[in-house]
Amino acid sequence: MSSDSETGKSGGAVPCRPVLQKTQPKVPPKLPMKPLLKASINPKSHSKQSVELATTTPESSVDLSPKIAPKKLKALISPVAAKTPPGTPKSSPGPFSLSSTKKTPKCATKSAITPPSTPVPSSPGSLAAAMKSSKQEFHAQRRLRISGYGRKPGSPKCGRIMPEGMTMADFAPPVVEKKRCGWITTQSDPAYIAYHDEEWGVPVYDQIMLFELLVLVGAQAELSWPTILSKREHFRAAFSGFDPAVVSNFNEKKILSLASDSNLSQPEAKIRGAVNNAKKILEVACEFGSFSSYLWSFVNHKPTANKYRLPKQVPVKSPKSEAISKDLVKRGFRFVGPTVVYSLMQAAGMINDHLVQCFRHEECLCLPDKSTGRGEKGEAQAVILARRDEVVVC
């Protein structure tokens, strides 16, 4: 070919079309390679990291990959990070990695670990906007999953639903029971509880009522107090309302009929003793004005309040009851021992033996003094005086 070109230039022949020669790409010269360093492997501490040191590239390796513009490179990289082969050490994410390095909470599900894969546009100008919108969507879904964690889906509640068979009374607060004396329990007779809450320990100044209490207290040797309270109306009918003037006139026939009454369950001696005590009450009333003023004179016409905390601390008799018993025996009364007199003082309110924790302890202390006619019921003294004038006949 060189000869033909030369003849064409010198001679007058027509020049031929030049043939282009194929050029080969220039290859950079090979640089001398340094020998690989043998990694020192400790047999005792054999690890993956020590083995990887032997396969590393030398320090003087040259990057022969073609250079690509960074903007075009971003468009080619996928938003989801490629999985690394096992055995390679963990490295920090690169500048173009979209995977989040923050630790996900335990409550997040598997779907919340990786952001939703959104198609990345080919144009580099809208890449930042797409990444921002994908992040916002990812965090919005994550917040929804966290807020609904542990909740069971159900129908919306339009209001409180009451279980079947229940009423509003079942939701009312429990009624706190009043504290009473230790000998009063929830299993006690209702009449016994009512007597404790309304009568026991309340000062009594009516001699008719005092005579009734004296007869009922004396009957405790044969009957219990709840039984006596259940037969109280029968006692009143048998003893003519416990009027001392009427009972003192009972004849032998009346006494024997009462002794044979099965509802009273009292021996003949107790019936005769009640008739005898009715006569003595009339004698005491002539001397002191009334049987009430005679009894209350032993306590200076004022109730005595004890402060017992336990039922076993309440005595069955006291020095005061022994003194009253001796004086009554001297005046001819029967069945009036210290124990009977102390029970009479408790029932008549001469002694306040309600326990300190009982609600009636303070209530009995705040009761008005009816002996002088003061208090809410000032007419009580007038009624007592009227009855005394009718009964006492000197």
**Residue 235 maps to a domain:** yes
**Residue 255 maps to a domain:** yes
| DSSP class per residue in 15-35 | PPPPPPPPPPPPPPPPPPPPP
Instruction: Report the alpha-carbon distance of residue 276 to residue 331 in Å, rounded.
Output: 11
For 390, phi and psi rounded to 5 degrees?
-75, -35
Q: What was the pLDDT predicted at 133?
A: 87
Instruction: Report the alpha-carbon distance of residue 2 to residue 6 in Å, rounded.
Output: 6
Q: For the chain, what's the residue count?
A: 394
**Residue 211 maps to a domain:** yes
Q: Which of 307, 385, 391, 295 is nearest to 349 (CA)?
A: 295
Q: What was the pLDDT predicted at 187?
A: 83
Assess contact for 123 and 94: CB atoms under 8 A: no
Q: Which of 267, 292, 322 is nearest to 214 (CA)?
A: 292
**Residue 306 maps to a domain:** yes
CATH number, domain of 249, equals 1.10.340.30
Tokens 């001679």, residue? 11
> Residue 305, SS3?
strand
Assess contact for 246 and 240: CB atoms under 8 A: yes
**Residue 33 maps to a domain:** no
Q: Which of 388, 318, 305 is nearest to 349 (CA)?
A: 305
Q: What was the pLDDT predicted at 60?
A: 43
Residue 3 tokens, joined = 């000869």
pTM above 0.75, yes or no: no
Q: Which of 355, 356, 327 is nearest to 341 (CA)?
A: 327
**Residue 136 maps to a domain:** no
**Residue 25 maps to a domain:** no
Residue type, 266: Q
Q: In the 8-state DSSP scheme, what is residue 108? A: S
- Dump strand ranges (E) for the chain: 304-305, 351-352
* Helix axis angle, 268-288 to 207-218, nearest 10°: 150
Q: What was the pLDDT predicted at 146?
A: 78
Q: Which residues of the chain have pLDDT under 70?
A: 1-125, 148-165, 168-176, 369-394
Residue type, 37: L
Instruction: Report the alpha-carbon distance of residue 261 to residue 207 in Å, rounded.
Output: 26
Instruction: Report the alpha-carbon distance of residue 288 to residue 279 in Å, rounded.
Output: 15
Question: Which domain covers residue 283, as residue numbers?
Answer: 190-391
Instruction: Report the alpha-carbon distance of residue 152 to residue 142 in Å, rounded.
Output: 18
Residue 283 tokens, joined = 């004698």
> Residue 71, SS3?
helix
Residue type, 392: V
Instruction: Report the alpha-carbon distance of residue 344 to residue 212 in Å, rounded.
Output: 10
Instruction: Report the alpha-carbon distance of residue 168 to residue 24 in Å, rounded.
Output: 100
Domain total in the chain: 1
Instruction: Report the alpha-carbon distance of residue 123 to residue 187 in Å, rounded.
Output: 92
Assess contact for 353 and 311: CB atoms under 8 A: no
